[in-house]
């Protein structure tokens, strides 16, 4: 039997890989964005500034001193996660992330996908794609992409066991047995997995099973309850896995979140403490319109909470770092946690 020996969650947003002096680049995008979801409403940037007046001193939060402090804390937390994972030295990492129009587009957008080929490529930065990105995103892309294409092993046996268990548990999960291609060739694995390879695994070729959720693009967004239950199914699959590579030590990773691009510290604290305390009532009753835009990646964490629900591992918050970049309270609520 395989054993889940460790879990961790890490934000993966572009600010983590952007010098604090340049966080303004992303704030410029925020000011142009006409639709900011926040606590059930959707606002233009000026409306957001107005409704959040008095909530917090965002000007102070945006000061370079505070930003530098936040940036340092983020880097320390990422370094700590990288070191912990190196110390645990698992045989396999199951990464739960979301696809953001990287492999899946309007032609097909599955709610849950398990990748089940023998290997996966994290592609080098494509200069043509770089040109299509806003400066703030382009600057941060090196955090998810290696200088040259990297190929990593995928334990297909375990991926198939997860799929079989999902189908047995009545999750009609999609599979991807081959990386998609476009005119330029193979499309590299998405940012949610690429960031973990680069920043936490430091490009070590540890076998990884990528599991991709559609958290971002309505209408087929899985609910938090569905994500948690899917996670439990994945957990059962790992615990019962007795294939050619059994006896393996498995780590689980939640990639992304928490609230962004409008930071909502109340939501972040509520979700993080519910996940820590296995408080499914709070998770399941959170209104669905709280999980929009980047904040939807909280569902990656909820899925991982489901995977770890029946283990004895306990969540420890390494740090929560609200990293503000604008007067509207936009940025990313960065969270880093381990389940030890
Ligand atoms: Fe993301």
88-107 confidence digits (pLDDT tens)? 999 999 999 999 999 999 99
Å from CA of 245 to ligand 1 middle: 31
C-alpha 162: how far from chain center: 19
Q: Where are the beta strands (DSSP E) in the chain?
A: 3-10, 36-38, 41-43, 92-98, 112-115, 119-122, 150-153, 174-176, 181-182, 185-186, 208-213, 249-255, 315-324, 331-339
pLDDT, tens digit, 9 for 90 and up, residues 275-329: 999 999 999 999 999 999 999 999 999 999 999 998 999 999 999 999 999 999 9
At residue 128, does pLDDT exceed 90? no
Residue 28 CA, ligand 1 centroid: distance in Å: 19
Ligand 1 geometric centre to CA of 257 (Å): 7
Domains and CATH numbers, the chain: 3-339 (3.40.830.10)
Model pLDDT, residue 125: 83
Judged against a pLDDT cut of 90, whether residue 136 lies above it is answered with no
Average pLDDT over the chain reads 95
42 three-class SS: strand
pLDDT tens digits, one per residue of 68-86: 999 999 999 999 999 999 9
Whether the pLDDT of residue 246 is over 70: the answer is no
Distance 169 CA to ligand 1 centre (A): 28
Q: What pLDDT does 18 receive?
A: 92
- The pLDDT of residue 108: 96
Q: How far is the CA of 191 from the centre of ligand 1 (A)?
A: 7
How many helices and strands, by DSSP H and E, does the chain display? Answer: 12, 14
Which residues fall within 8 angstroms of residue 36, CB to CB, at 6 or more apart?
30, 42, 43, 44, 45, 48, 261, 262, 293, 328, 330
Distance 216 CA to ligand 1 centre (A): 9
- Judged against a pLDDT cut of 70, whether residue 271 lies above it is answered with yes
Q: How far is the CA of 296 from the centre of ligand 1 (A)?
A: 9
Q: Can you give the pTM of this predicted structure? A: 0.96
Q: How far is the CA of 247 from the centre of ligand 1 (A)?
A: 32
| Least confident interval from 22-26, 189-193, 198-202 | 22-26
- Sign of the dihedral through C-alpha 168, 93, 292, 276: positive
Cα 98 to averaged position of ligand 1 atoms, centre (Å): 7
Q: Separation of 189 CA from ligand 1 center, angstroms?
A: 13
Instruction: Pull the structure tokens for residue 103.
Output: 């492999």
């Amino acid at each position: 039997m395989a054993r889940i020996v460790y879990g961790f969650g890490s934000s993966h947003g572009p600010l983590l890989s952007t010098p604090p002096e340049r966080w303004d680049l992303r704030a410029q995008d925020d000011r142009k964005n006409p639709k900011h979801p926040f606590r059930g409403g959707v606002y233009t940037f000026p409306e957001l500034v107005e409704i959040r007046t008095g909530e917090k001193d965002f000007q102070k939060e945006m000061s370079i001193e505070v930003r530098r402090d936040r940036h340092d804390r983020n880097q320390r937390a990422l370094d700590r996660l990288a070191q912990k994972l190196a110390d645990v030295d698992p045989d396999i990492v199951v990464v739960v992330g979301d696809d953001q129009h990287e492999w899946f587009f309007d032609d097909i957008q599955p709610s849950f996908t398990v990748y089940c080929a023998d290997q996966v490529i994290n592609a080098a930065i494509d200069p043509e794609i770089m040109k299509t990105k806003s400066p703030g995103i382009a600057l941060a892309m090196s955090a998810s992409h290696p200088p040259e294409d990297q190929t990593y092993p995928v334990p297909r046996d375990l991926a198939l066991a997860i799929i079989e268990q999902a189908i047995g548990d009545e999750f009609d999960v999609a599979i991807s047995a081959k990386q998609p291609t476009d005119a330029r060739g193979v499309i590299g694995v998405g940012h949610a997995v690429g960031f973990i390879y680069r920043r936490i695994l430091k490009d070590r070729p540890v076998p990884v099973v990528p599991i991709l959720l559609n958290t971002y693009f309505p209408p087929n967004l899985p609910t938090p309850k569905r994500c948690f239950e899917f996670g439990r199914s994945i957990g059962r699959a790992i615990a019962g896995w007795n294939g050619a590579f059994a006896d393996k030590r498995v780590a689980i990773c939640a990639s992304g979140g928490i609230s962004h691009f409008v930071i909502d510290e109340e939501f972040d604290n509520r979700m993080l403490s519910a996940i820590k305390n296995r408080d499914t009532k709070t998770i399941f009753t959170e209104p669905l319109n709280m999980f929009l835009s980047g904040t939807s990646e909280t569902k990656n964490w909820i899925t991982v909470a489901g995977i770890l629900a029946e283990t004895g591992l306990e969540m420890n918050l390494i740090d929560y770092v609200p990293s503000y970049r604008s007067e509207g309270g936009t940025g990313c609520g960065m969270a880093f946690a381990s389940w030890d």
